[in-house]
A and B are shown apart, each in its own frame.
Chain A
Amino acid sequence: MPGHYPLLTILIFLPLAGCLLLLPLWNRASIARPVAFGVAAVELALTGWLYASWQVLEGVPTKLPGYLLLEDAPWIPSFGIRYTLGLDGISLLMVMLTAFTFCVALAVSWNAIKERATLFLTLMLVMEAGIMGVFLALDLALFYLFWEIMLIPMFFLIGVWGHGRKIYSTIKFFLFTMFGSLLMLLAIIALHLLHAQQSGVATFGLPELMHTRLPFDTQLWLFAAFFLAFAIKFPLFPLHTWLPDAHTDAPTAGSVVLAGLLLKTGSYGLIRFGYPLFPLAAQALTPLFYTLALLGIFYASLVAFAQEDMKRLIAYSSIGHMGYVAIGIAAWEPVALSGSILQMANHGVTTGALFCMIGMLDERAHTRDIAAFGGLWGKIPLWSFFFLIFSLTSMGLPGLNSFVGEFLILAGTIHKSPLVVVLSFVGIILPLIYMVRLLQEVLFQQERQPLALADLDLREMAILAVLLLLNIWVGVHPAPLLDMIHLPVLLLTGGAP
C-alpha cells in the first residue's frame, strides 16, 4: 500500500535522482534517452499505483479531511516554513497528468532533439520534479519554490531548442510569469504575517492560513496578487500575449509540457490556494473573472481563425479552451468545478496530442504554414486520421473527452449565471469554425505544394494511439475520474461561496 512509503517525496525527487544518472551519459544521448524515459515511466507507474489504491487510501483518514496522503517535516523553522506535501483526488489527477505528459513529451522528442540531447533530458526531468512539487505542496512557501523552479528548465527549453524568435519568446515568457509570481510572493509573506499577528503562530501551511480572518479590502488586495500570478499562467485574456509566442517558438516537447501542465498550474493554484484562502474576495471578483474568461474565449477563437501557422492556431485555441476552465472555477459550484478539473486533464491530453502531431508534421515538412499543405488525407492517412480525431475532440464532439468537461462546466454554471452560459454556448461554436477551416485546408483540399511526406512510424503511432485511447476512455466513461475528485471538490466548494 502506498501509505507505507514517502511516495510524494519520491515522486518529486526521483526525477532529480534521474538527473544524476544522466550526468555520466553527457555525450551518449542514445543511452541517456532510454534512461530518462525509464525514470519518467517509473513516475507514471507510481502514479498508476496511487490511482489503483486511492479508494483504499480514502478509507484511512489523515489529519486533513479529503487528503489521501500527507507528508510533513520542518524545513526552515526560523520562518515557520514546513515541507508539507499532500495528495487529494485533484492533486492525484494532476500528478497522473504530469507523469503521463512527460512520458509523451520525452517519447515525442526522441529523434527531434539531436543537439545537446542529454542537457535537454536533464532539464525535462528537473521540470517534472518542479511541476510535481507544485501539484503536491501544501505549504505556500514550498509551493512558491516549486512554482519558480519549474520556470527555469522551460526558459532553457524554449531558448536553446526553440525556433524562430526563441530568445524574445523565452524572455517574454519568463518575465510575464515572474511579474505575477513576485507580487504573489509579497502576498504570501503578507498573509503569513497577518496570520502570525492573529494567532501568534508563524506558518505558511495552507490549512492554517485558511483560518486567517481577513478584512475584506485586505483580502481583495492579497487575492488580486494571487489572481494575477495565476491568471498569467492560465492565461486569461489581457495577460495571454506570452503564450502564442512561447508555444510557437518552443520545441514540441516544450509546447506539450507548456499546454499540458504549465497552464494547469495556474488553474490548479486558483482552485487550491486562491479561492480557499480568500473566499470573499474571490466571490467579489467573480464577475470580472467571468468577463475575462468570456472575452478570452471569443477573442482567442477569432484570432485563431486568422492564423497561418498551425502551431499558433492551436496555441490560441488553447487560450479559448482554458476560458471554459476559468468559467467552471468562477462558478465555484461542485458540478462546474469537477468539470473544470476534468477539463484541465482533458485539455492537457488533447492539446498535447495536437502539438505532438504538428511537431511530427514539422519534422517532415519543415514548415507549419497552413498554406503549404493540402490533401494530406490522401498522402499520410494515418497522421490525418489521428489529426481529425483530436481536432474533433477540440471542437467538443460527444464521446470524446472535451465534451464531458465542457458539458459539466456549463451544466454546473447555469444555476449560477445563465447569461454566462448562454454566451459561452455561442463561444462553443467558434472552435468549430477555425478547426473546420484548418482540417479543410490541411487534410482535404487539393495539394498546394509537392511535399514528399512519410507517414507515421511505429513510435509515433504508439504515442498517438495511447493518447487517443485515453481520450475516448475519458469521453465515454469519465465516472472513475469524477469519483476520484468528488470528495475534494465537495470539501472545497462547501467551505467557500
Chain B
Amino acid sequence: MTSGDLIALMPLLILTAGSVLCLLVGVLRPGKYLYAAAIIVVSSALLWSCALPAEAVLSGLSVTPFSRFSSAFLYGTGIIALLLAYSYNIRHGIVGEEYPATILFALTGMGAACAATDLLMLFLGLEAFTFAFYILVAIRRDSSRGGEAGLKYLLNGTLSAAILAMGMALVYADRGTLRLAELASASEGAHEPLFLAGCCLILLGMAFKLSLAPAHLWTADVYQGAPAPVTALLSTASKGASLAALLLLLPLFGAWHGLHDILWLVALLSMLAGNLAALVQNNLKRMLAWSSVGQMGYVALALVAAPAGGVRAAAFYLVAYAAAGLAAFGVVSVLPDEEERDTIEACRGLGYRNPLAGAVLAAAMFSLAGIPPTAGFMGKFTVFAAALRGGEITLALVGILSALVAVFFYLRVVVVLYMKPSALPVEPVHMPDVAEMIALLVPIVVVVLVGVYPQPLLELLEKILIRS
C-alpha cells in the first residue's frame, strides 16, 4: 500500500478510527460532546472525499470518482441524522456513546460498499451497515415498538443476508472468481443455470435492502418502530448505499434479459404496492414507509431502462428522494412525543404552530409527490424520460398513474398541516433548536435548488457514472 492509497482510503480510516475512539472515550467520559465529535469526524470524511481527488485501486476496494461522490452523499445524510439525533436523544432518554459510534460504523460500511470491487467486500460493506442498523433500530430499550421493529429487521435482515451470500456463493461456484470486473467480462456469453440462480438470489437480497416489492414488508414496521433520526438515515443513506452497490453489481448480469424482466416486475409491484398501501395509512411514519416503497419502485423503473440512460436517472432520483425523505423524517423527529401521537391527524395546524417544521414537511411532501419546482419533480422527469427512451411505455403509464395516487396521500399531509383547525388541547410545541434547524433546512434547500437548477447534479452524475 502506497501513501497515495492511504490518502485515498483516509475517509474510511477516519470513520473507523472515529467509531472506535468514540466507544473508548465514551466509556471514560460519557457525554453529549460525542455527537459533536462524531459530526466533526463525518464532516472531515466528507470533505476529504469531495476535495481530494485521490484515487486508488487495492484488492477488494478501489476509490473511484463514483465511490468518492456516493460516499460523500451518504456521509452528508449521516451528518443530518446526527444533527437530528442530538436533541432527539436527549428528549427521549437515549443515552450512551454507542449511538454516535454505531452511526459512524454504519457510514464506514456504506463507504466500503460504494468502493467495493469484489463480491466479498461488497457483502461486507452492505452487511456492516445493515448490522449497525440492527442496533440503531432497537436502541430505545424501553420501547416495545422499538424492540419489535428491531427483531423484525434482524430476522428479515439476516435472511436476506443469507440469500445474498448464497447468491454470491453460487456465482463464485460457477465462475470461479469474486472480482466484479472479471465477472462482468465473463458475462458476455451464454449463462449457466447456476450463475443465473446466483444472480436471482443476489437481486432478491438487494431488493430487501432497497425495500422493493416483494421484499418490502419489513419497511413499515421498522420505520415506525425505530427512533425518527434512525429512520431518517435508514430510509435515505441505507437506500443510497444499496443502490450504489446494485449499480456496481449491474455489469455482472451482462446482457441477460431476465434482469430486465425481473426489474420490470419489481418496479411494477413496488410502485403499485407502495403507493396503494400508503393511501390507507394513518400513521405518518408508516405512510412515509409505504410511500418509500413506491419511491424505490421509480428507481427500479429507471433501472429497467438502464441501457437508455436509466442509471443516471436512478441515481438522480435517489438523491432527490433522499433529500425530501431526510426533511420529512427530520420533521417527524422534531414533533413532540412522537411515540404516541405520530398520526397524520396529530399534525393538525402544525404549519401555523411551528412554521419552520410545517413548511419543511409541506415542501418535502410536494417533492415526494413530484410537483415542481422541487427535486422530486426533476427526479420523476428524468426517470420517465429514461423509461420512455427505453421503450417502457406500459411501465411509464403505470408509474404516472400511481404517481397520481401518491399525490393524494402526500397532499393529505399538507391539508392537515394548513387547512384543518388545530386539535384541542393544543400540546406544547417543541421549537427546533439550532442543530435541528440546520438539519431541516439543508435538505429542503437541496430540494429546491436541485428542483430549480438540476444541471450541476446531472453533470456530476454523468461524469462519475461514465468513469466508474
B455 touches A186 (CB 8 A): no
> B372 interface residue, CB < 8 Å from A?
yes
Task: Report chain B residues within 8 Å CB of A78.
Answer: 454-455, 458-459, 462
A189 touches B400 (CB 8 A): no
A: number of interface residues (CB 8 Å): 33
Q: Report the minimal beta-carbon distance from A395 to chain B, rounded to whole angstroms.
A: 37
Task: Report chain A residues within 8 Å CB of B384.
Answer: 185-186, 189
> B213 interface residue, CB < 8 Å from A?
no
B366 touches A152 (CB 8 A): yes
Across the interface, A193 reaches (CB within 8 A) one of B373, B381, B389, B454, namely B389
> A171 interface residue, CB < 8 Å from B?
yes
B415 touches A189 (CB 8 A): no
> B420 interface residue, CB < 8 Å from A?
yes
Given contacts A152-B371, A186-B396, A189-B384, contact A77 B455 (CB under 8 A): yes
Q: Which residue of B lies closest to A194 (CB)?
A: B388
A144 to B372 Cα, complex, angstroms: 9
B: number of interface residues (CB 8 Å): 34
> A174 interface residue, CB < 8 Å from B?
yes
> B397 interface residue, CB < 8 Å from A?
yes
Contact with B along A114-155 (1 / 0, CB 8 A): 001000000000000000000000000100110011011001
Task: Report chain A residues within 8 Å CB of B400.
Answer: 182-183, 185-186
Q: Report the minimal beta-carbon distance from A119 to chain B, rounded to whole angstroms.
A: 9
A159 touches B404 (CB 8 A): no
A174 to B403 Cα, complex, angstroms: 13
A175 touches B408 (CB 8 A): yes
Task: Report chain A residues within 8 Å CB of B441.
Answer: none
Chain B binding site: helix, strand, loop or mixed by DSSP? helix
A167 touches B419 (CB 8 A): yes
Task: Report chain A residues within 8 Å CB of B455.
Answer: 75-78
Task: Report chain A residues within 8 Å CB of B385.
Answer: 79, 189, 192-193
Among A144, A166, A174, A182, which residue has the most Cβ atoms of chain B within 10 A? A182
Cβ < 8 Å to A, chain B residues 370-396: 371-373, 377, 380-382, 384-385, 388-389, 396
Among B403, B404, B412, B462, which residue has the most Cβ atoms of chain A within 10 A? B404
> B407 interface residue, CB < 8 Å from A?
yes
> B280 interface residue, CB < 8 Å from A?
no
Given contacts A175-B407, A189-B385, contact A76 B418 (CB under 8 A): no
Cβ < 8 Å to B, chain A residues 163-205: 166-167, 170-171, 174-175, 178-179, 182-183, 185-186, 189-190, 192-193
Give the A-B contact count at a CB cut-off of 8 A. Answer: 81
Across the interface, A175 reaches (CB within 8 A) one of B404, B418, B419, B420, namely B404
B415 touches A148 (CB 8 A): no
Contact with A along B432-465 (1 / 0, CB 8 A): 0000000000000000000001110011001000
A160 to B416 Cα, complex, angstroms: 11
Across the interface, B403 reaches (CB within 8 A) one of A145, A149, A152, A182, namely A182
Task: Report chain B residues within 8 Å CB of A75.
Answer: 453, 455
Task: Report chain B residues within 8 Å CB of A144.
Answer: 372
Task: Report chain A residues within 8 Å CB of B372.
Answer: 144-145, 148-149
Cβ < 8 Å to A, chain B residues 394-426: 396-397, 400-401, 403-404, 407-408, 411-412, 414-415, 418-420
Task: Report chain B residues within 8 Å CB of A189.
Answer: 381, 384-385, 388
B420 touches A178 (CB 8 A): no
A77 to B419 Cα, complex, angstroms: 39
> A377 interface residue, CB < 8 Å from B?
no
Q: Which residue of A lies closest to B405 (CB)?
A: A175
Given contacts A79-B385, A183-B400, contact A148 B419 (CB under 8 A): no
Q: Report the minimal beta-carbon distance from A357 to chain B, rounded to whole angstroms.
A: 27
Q: Report the minimal beta-carbon distance from B191 to chain A, rounded to whole angstroms.
A: 31
Task: Report chain A residues within 8 Å CB of B408.
Answer: 171, 175
Task: Report chain A residues within 8 Å CB of B388.
Answer: 186, 189-190, 193
B407 touches A174 (CB 8 A): yes
> A156 interface residue, CB < 8 Å from B?
yes
A472 to B418 Cα, complex, angstroms: 41
Q: Which residue of A lies closest to B384 (CB)?
A: A189
A156 touches B373 (CB 8 A): no
Across the interface, A148 reaches (CB within 8 A) one of B371, B389, B396, B458, namely B371
Q: Report the minimal beta-carbon distance from B460 to chain A, rounded to whole angstroms.
A: 11
Q: Report the minimal beta-carbon distance from A492 to chain B, rounded to whole angstroms.
A: 27
Among B352, B415, B418, which residue has the most Cβ atoms of chain A within 10 A? B415
A159 touches B419 (CB 8 A): yes
Among A75, A170, A189, A190, which residue has the most Cβ atoms of chain B within 10 A? A189
Given contacts A148-B372, A171-B411, A179-B404, contact A159 B418 (CB under 8 A): yes
Q: List 20 A-B contacts (CB under 8 A).
A: A76-B453, A79-B381, A79-B382, A145-B377, A152-B366, A152-B371, A156-B418, A159-B418, A159-B419, A167-B420, A171-B411, A174-B411, A175-B404, A178-B371, A178-B404, A182-B401, A183-B400, A186-B388, A186-B397, A189-B385
**Given contact pairs A152-B371, A155-B414, a sample of 13 additional A-B residue pairs in the complex whose CB atoms are under 8 Å apart:** A78-B462, A79-B385, A156-B418, A159-B418, A175-B407, A178-B371, A178-B407, A179-B404, A183-B400, A185-B381, A186-B396, A189-B384, A193-B385
B residues at A contact (CB < 8 Å): 352, 366, 371-373, 377, 380-382, 384-385, 388-389, 396-397, 400-401, 403-404, 407-408, 411-412, 414-415, 418-420, 453-455, 458-459, 462
A residues at B contact (CB < 8 Å): 75-79, 116, 141, 144-145, 148-149, 151-152, 155-156, 159-160, 166-167, 170-171, 174-175, 178-179, 182-183, 185-186, 189-190, 192-193
